[in-house]
Amino acid sequence: MFTEVQVESFKCFESLSLRLRPLTLLSGVNGGGKSSVIQSLMLLAQTISMREWGRSLLLEGPELALGSVADVLNHQSARRHLLLGVATASERVEWCFKAEDRRALSMELDSLKVNGKEADLTAGVRWLLPRREAETSTVVKALRRLSWITAERTGPRELLPLRDAQGHAQVGPRGELAAGLVYWREGDEVSRALCFPETPPTLFNQVRRWMQEFFPRCDFRVAAVEGASAVTLCLRSDAKSNFQRPQNVGFGLTQLFPIIVAVLAASEGDIILIENPEVHLHPKAQQDIGTLLARVAASGVQILVETHSDHVLNGIRLAVKSKTIVPADVAIHFFCPTSDGVFLPKSPHVDEDGRLDEWPEGFFDQFDVALSKLL
């Protein structure tokens, strides 16, 4: 599990160190840096996945494409160096990358610190660490188990990609691989902590049951397309109706489906980054997804969620009050500008009753602001 993420001269941040917990919620104004926190982790994960033996940070990749060096370096800084750091309970790694050409689409590894000590890079690297340390690194292990679901999830599609079984280890950044994952792993057992006891504990059955928790009477079916590397995902909103193409069923089902698949298919120790899980969901479903994410985090899967929904926040607070997750396992960060225009987080603490010790201005208070003008 990650306990901290650190960046210097990255996008809107000149310097940031952020505490992470089993469940971390990022909120705040648009352009405040929430996505940048997630992207800093994804840059590292993407690089060690795509360039196992390389020494460069891949800025323009298949999952995360941020552009050139000029696009990712903090505009207020004249530096040509970028620092990305990650910590677990037993290890802290700080990578420093440099680029001579701001048009470049990658940055070269310049120096590295492991637990505060300069690392020797002369013998070569693997997964951006010295070879002898790479295989035992808890930071690298965590990055290799990281998955990301973006806010731009795949909408209703008649056909979805089907790869070999190993290619469906995750649902994909846009959820495009979720149906294929269910196709290959439908019989896998789900963590008992996340199972409905009256339903068989297999992935297919538990995904189906959880989808019905959000959309009563809905159902789905996944089938391979003969002669093509593709699957179909058919849905219905009522048990009495026929299965239909996704285009003819509400957007909410296709937006929620990959999230449900991802959290139920995850193993203890996995890390999932989720952007805007509330997309196309009505308020109660938004609240329920917050409660579910808290339950997933309590089961041993680390969740980092970015949201603009107070309902998601309230679902997490209700999970704390019901003792689904303990307060110490929840971190809340609200990104807002300081008086000099710098974006830094304020971090309210949640108590055992789900109450927050502070409510910063602009932090999910728009309803109250509007109500005060109406009354």
Listed by start position, the domains of the chain span 4-145+269-374, 153-258
Angle, helix 310-321 to helix 283-298, in steps of 10 degrees: 50
Count of Cβ atoms closer than 10 Å to residue 259 Cβ: 26
- For the chain (length 375 residues), average pLDDT per consecutive 10? 96 93 94 90 95 94 93 78 96 95 93 95 92 93 96 89 94 96 97 96 97 92 94 85 78 92 96 96 95 98 96 96 97 84 86 93 77 75
CA pair distance 14, 275, nearest whole angstrom: 23
Give the pLDDT confidence score for residue 78 in this predicted structure: 62
Nearest to 333 by CA among 12, 32, 11, 15: 32
Q: Which CATH fold would you assign to the domain 4-145+269-374?
A: Rossmann fold (3.40.50)
End-to-end C-alpha distance for the chain, whole angstroms? 47
Give the pLDDT confidence score for residue 350 in this predicted structure: 96
- Here the contacts of 241-244 (C-beta below 8 Å, separation 24 or greater) are 243/219
Nearest to 86 by CA among 125, 132, 48: 48
- Tracing tokens 């960046």 back to the chain, one arrives at 7
CA pair distance 62, 320, nearest whole angstrom: 37
Give the pLDDT confidence score for residue 338 in this predicted structure: 73
The alpha carbon torsion through 240, 242, 248, 254 (nearest 10 deg) reads: 80
pTM of the model: 0.94
Q: Is there a contact between 246 and 153 (Cβ–Cβ < 8 Å)?
A: no
Which residues is 202 bridged to in the sheet?
Answer: 189
Give the pLDDT confidence score for residue 343 in this predicted structure: 76
Nearest to 313 by CA among 340, 286, 336: 286
